[in-house]
Amino acid sequence: MSKVYDVIVLGGGPAGLAAGIYAGRARLSTLIIEKGQDGGQIAITDEIENYPGQTIEGESGASLAARMAEQAAKFGAERASDVIKEVSLEGKIKTLTGSKGVYEGKTVIIATGAFPRPIGCDNEGKFVGKGISFCATCDAAFFEDFEVYVVGGGDSAVEEALYLTKFARKVTIIHRRDELRAAKSIQEKAFANDKIHFMWDTVVESVDGDGLLSSMVVRNKKNGERTTITADEEDGMFGLFGFIGYLPKSELFEGQIDLDGGYIVTDADMKTNVDGVFAAGDIRVKSLRQVVTAAADGAIAAVQAGKYIEDSE
């Protein structure tokens, strides 16, 4: 007979690991299921400097995630490395079926996260964290007095471009259309900012560099003309930020949990519309996706899962 856990946490990013820490510390039998590397998006972040309490001299996403995982283990959270293929979330016992086994729990905390939509250019993966970023709040300070480029034309892209002007000496928005899709009020701020420039009807085709991003090829969609952009010789690199949307990892839950644009809808206590099922971190509808907010979500979800179990017994 398989073990029925008090809490099953699906996902080993900051939200899932924080949930594991709080659930384990509350003496709830806890299982964290992660299919890949701990840390989620931060696992590929070379340096974090805005997480409260981190080491001042510098912190990589991988090192922060590793310490979180150690804390969860210290408080008794068990681990499973598996890819979940199917979930059944109704009823008192929730069932998650993976490639390697079947897992049962009284509660489930979904922390599967979301990931930025890729820019879609050749060699992109080689330069993520080495010039290519998908988070201005996380990485803008690393490009102080450098040139940066922003791909996108919606609210997020233009707002992040405006934020980047506080750090970069020049910000160029690369947009595949000939006008922005952002709200007019945001557009007005961008057009009025001397640091912001625009490349219309343009897409990034490829990126390159010797370890760090230092060149890219862009193509004008109207006339087909290709242009190679290279970093200033003194800089040796430039930044390329992609803001063309996120892709939430929620396909498993379609038809069982309320979604909004693919994101899981929760209340302030991380409760979903299904009793005993909670969501935390980037997978849920929220205004700020950062390590600190993910960790907070995970803590709340774990505490609420404990209360749910108490009330159900």
135 is catalytic: yes
What percentage of the chain's residues is helix, strand, coil (to nearest 5)? 30, 30, 45
Q: 């922390």: which residue's tokens? A: 111
- The single residue of 6, 38, 82, 139 carrying the catalytic annotation is 139
Residue 106: φ, ψ to 5°: -75, -30
Residue 21: φ, ψ to 5°: -65, -50
The answer to whether residues 72 and 17 touch, using CB atoms and an 8 Å cutoff, is: yes
Using CA atoms, how far apart are residues 8 and 194, in angstroms rounded to an integer?
A: 51
- The single residue of 135, 155, 201, 235 carrying the catalytic annotation is 135
Mutual angle of helices 14-25 and 291-312, in 10-degree steps = 40
Q: How many CA atoms, within 13 angstroms, populate the side-chain half-sphere of residue 23?
A: 36
- The single residue of 38, 138, 282, 297 carrying the catalytic annotation is 138
121 is catalytic: no
Tokens of 33: 């299921």
Catalytic residue numbers, as ranges: 135, 138-139
